């Protein structure tokens, strides 16, 4: 292994797996942990045969891989632009073809968990003569790797050049209010992050929504809604960083803590409006008007539980990942128990308690170098 590739792996690949260890462990738990040991082989064979024989199921799998690839690419691009990784800009002095293949290997290494499972799909597909599907899957994954490597290589080699195409800036009314300040930050400074989270959640909800029929269990939508909420969790950390850097002075204003908490509640409810609009067509098919009210309350409570945790002083990033993991697992189990109303109220009450006790005690950690 040459020195440049080794540095790239230590700077990009290892941090990627450390940052996403909780999510990967959760997926592993869902795929293997909740199935009885005697049924694991049959369960995964059924999934693989469904992928090889059903066009709709195959499209769902390809979309999931696409979202994973986009998530990995977003992380690699974001990490490579951080101040502590400015040395990676020097890769632009390499020949374009050489730097491309370095990035191709990096992209492939971030895709290893998916690729290992894909090898099993290849094995079963070839054994049962599904050659066309196997070739399609191989070409799709290869295209993802080439496209991601090209974007990384192009970005690294043109970082010093002026940007000719930018996403439009979105202006919101009432930006003088505290809620407007948070909204303006998200829609002006975090457009790529908003776009990524919305693509993940809307695609997921749309796929499930199209399969619903009259009389279906509400829990299908509630579980889907939870995964949609999970795609927004990284936005909360961005909001907290923005708050710590620019809005600490607001705590000195004569504004009641209850009013500020209600502002957070509105913020996270408004954040899920596109998903709510998408679900309006599902009323009568596994969803009723009262449950339509319940879903934004559930998302606000869940996201506020995370935001309230971030008011913890001297918090440990590893403990935060553990907290997020068990929070999701706990909510997932309660949803399966058909206690969604109870869960939404408990989440809001718990987050209010954490917020109330930590709001004025919280001080942003300052690292002195």
Count CA within 13 A, CB hemisphere, residue 358.
Answer: 20
Digit-coded pLDDT (tens) for 259-291: 888 888 888 888 888 888 887 777 777 677 887
Low-confidence residues in the chain, pLDDT < 70: 1, 22-23, 26, 29-37, 159-176, 212, 215, 286, 317-318, 363-369
The pLDDT value recorded for residue 174 is 46
The pLDDT value recorded for residue 26 is 67
Centroid of chain to Cα 249:
30
The pLDDT value recorded for residue 361 is 76
| Rounded Cα distance, 59 and 284, in Å | 26
Digit-coded pLDDT (tens) for 324-354: 888 888 888 888 887 888 888 898 898 888 8
The pLDDT value recorded for residue 142 is 92
From the list 224, 207, 228, the residue with the least C-alpha distance to 274 is 228
From the list 216, 196, 214, the residue with the least C-alpha distance to 75 is 196
Contact 102, 8 (CB under 8 A): yes
Calculate the alpha carbon distances from 161 to 62, 164, 270 in Å: 34, 9, 37
The pLDDT value recorded for residue 172 is 46
Secondary structure in 3-state letters for the chain: CCHHHHHHHHHHHHHHHHHCHHHHHHHHHHHHHCCCCCCHHHHHHHHHHHHHHCHHHHHHHHHHHHHHHHHHHHHHHHHHCCHHHHHHHHHHHCCHHHHHHHHHHHHHHHCHHHHHHHHHHHHHHHHCCCHHHHHHHHHHHHHHHHHHHHHHHHHHHHCCCCCCCCCCCCCCCCCCCHHHHHHHHHHHHCHHHHHHHHHHHHHHHHHHHCCCCCCCCHHHHHHHHHHHHHCCHHHHHHHHHHHHHHCHHHHHCCCCHHHHHHHHHHHHHHHCHHHHHHHHHHECCCECHHHHHHHHHHHHHHHHHHHHHCCCCCCCHHHHHHHHHHHHHHHHHHHHCCCHHHHHHHHHHHHHHHHHHHCCCCCCCCCCC
**pTM of the model as a whole:** 0.57
The pLDDT value recorded for residue 284 is 72
Contacts of 168 (CB under 8 A, 6+ apart): none
């Amino acid at each position: 292994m040459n020195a440049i590739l080794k540095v790239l792996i230590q700077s990009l690949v290892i941090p990627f797996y450390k940052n996403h260890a909780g999510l990967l462990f959760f997926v592993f738990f869902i795929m293997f942990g909740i199935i009885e040991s005697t049924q694991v082989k049959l369960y995964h064979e059924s999934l693989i045969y469904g992928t090889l024989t059903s066009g709709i199921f195959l499209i769902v799998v390809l979309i999931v891989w696409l979202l994973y690839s986009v998530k990995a690419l977003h992380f690699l691009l974001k990490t490579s632009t951080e101040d502590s990784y400015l040395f990676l800009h020097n890769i632009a002095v390499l020949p374009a073809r050489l730097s491309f293949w370095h990035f191709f290997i990096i992209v492939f290494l971030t895709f290893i968990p998916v690729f290992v499972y894909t090898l099993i799909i290849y094995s079963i597909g070839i054994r049962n003569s599904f050659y066309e599907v196997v070739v399609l899957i191989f070409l799709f994954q290869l295209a993802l790797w080439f496209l991601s490597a090209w974007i990384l290589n192009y970005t690294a080699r043109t970082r010093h050049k002026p940007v000719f195409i930018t996403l439009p800036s979105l202006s919101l009314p009432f930006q003088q209010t505290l809620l407007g300040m948070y909204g303006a930050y998200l829609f002006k400074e975090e457009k790529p992050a908003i776009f990524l989270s919305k693509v993940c959640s809307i695609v997921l909800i749309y796929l499930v929504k199209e399969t619903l029929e009259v009389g279906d269990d509400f829990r299908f939508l509630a579980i889907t809604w939870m995964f949609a909420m999970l795609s927004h969790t990284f936005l909360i950390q961005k909001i907290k960083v923005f708050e710590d850097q620019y809005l600490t002075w607001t705590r000195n204003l004569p504004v009641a803590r209850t009013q500020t908490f209600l502002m957070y509640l509105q913020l996270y409810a408004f954040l899920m409006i596109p998903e709510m609009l998408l679900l309006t067509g599902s009323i009568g098919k596994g969803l009723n008007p009262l449950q339509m009210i319940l879903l934004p309350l559930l998302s606000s409570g869940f996201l506020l539980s995370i935001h309230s945790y971030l008011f913890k002083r001297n918090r440990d990033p590893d403990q935060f990942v553990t907290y997020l993991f068990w929070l999701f697992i706990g909510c997932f189990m309660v949803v399966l128990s058909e206690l969604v109303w109870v869960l939404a109220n408990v989440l809001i009450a718990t987050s209010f308690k954490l917020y109330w006790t930590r709001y004025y005690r919280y001080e942003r950690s300052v690292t002195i170098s």
